[in-house]
Amino acid sequence: MSIVENYKLLINKINHLSNDVTLICVTKTFSLDVIKPLVDNGHIHFGENKVQEAKNKWLELLKIKPKINLHMLGKVQSNKIDEIVKIFSFVHSLDNEKNSIKFNESEKKFNKKLNYFIQVNIGNELQKSGIQLSLVKDFVKFCKKDLNLNILGLMCIPPFNQNPEIFFSKLYKLNKECDLNNLSMGMSSDYELAIKNGANYVRVGSYIFGSRS
């Protein structure tokens, strides 16, 4: 099956579960030639993990198609924040005060507001990025009240080889407690469970494009 056929099949599956889900096609490591059929099909939400790769791939196309929204999914390096603000519309991996303050400064510098998800270390894993569960509520308040960042909701990546539904359900409850309305969770292997547990932004790559080399 072609990438566009995979994409349309996925859209149909998502629409059967909910009519309020934004599909982010995760395009990291894939060339623009591979991605272009989805752009031509009218899709506008794409996810990248690395700033330089995103710039190389999307900068010229964004000038022609300004409605495209790029989502920063990878770990944020503080020295790349100005570059992120220039080309991305969404950040799904905000997880510390230092970067929050830099985003606030950069937004003012470039007169541009971004949309943010706060990444939560939902499984309390040492090797994973994300803010600790006990700190989430205070961090949300700090970002919204003190810095005036547009915090849409929370984001998580559940621990590998465990039932993701436990963690999706936990994040959903925490999101409500923080009075936030959006949830970024679910990837190719578990997007259906994520949507059933309240996700309205899902990040799917390999289902559409196949495995990465």
Q: Provide, for the chain, the percentages of residues in helix, strand and coil under a 3-state DSSP scheme, each rounded to the nearest 5.
A: 45, 20, 35
Structure tokens at 60: 């010229």
Parallel/antiparallel/unpaired status of strands 182-184 and 150-155: parallel
pLDDT of residue 213: 65
Tell me how many domains the chain contains: 1
| 132: number of Cβ within 10 Å | 11
Q: What is the pLDDT along the chain (213 residues), one digit of tens a residue?
A: 899 999 999 999 999 999 999 999 999 999 999 999 999 999 999 999 999 999 999 999 999 999 999 999 999 999 999 999 999 999 999 999 999 999 999 999 999 999 999 999 998 887 888 999 999 999 999 999 999 999 999 999 999 889 999 999 999 999 999 999 999 999 999 999 999 999 999 999 999 998 876
Closest CA to 121 of 153, 164, 159: 159
Strands (E), 29-171: 45-48, 69-72, 90-94, 115-119, 150-155
Alpha-carbon distance of 91 to 151, in angstroms, equals 10
What value does the CA radius of gyration of the chain take, rounded to a whole number of Å? 17
Domain region containing 172: 3-209
Alpha-carbon distance of 93 to 23, in angstroms, equals 17
pTM: 0.96
- For the domain that residue 201 is a member of, what is the CATH number? 3.20.20.10
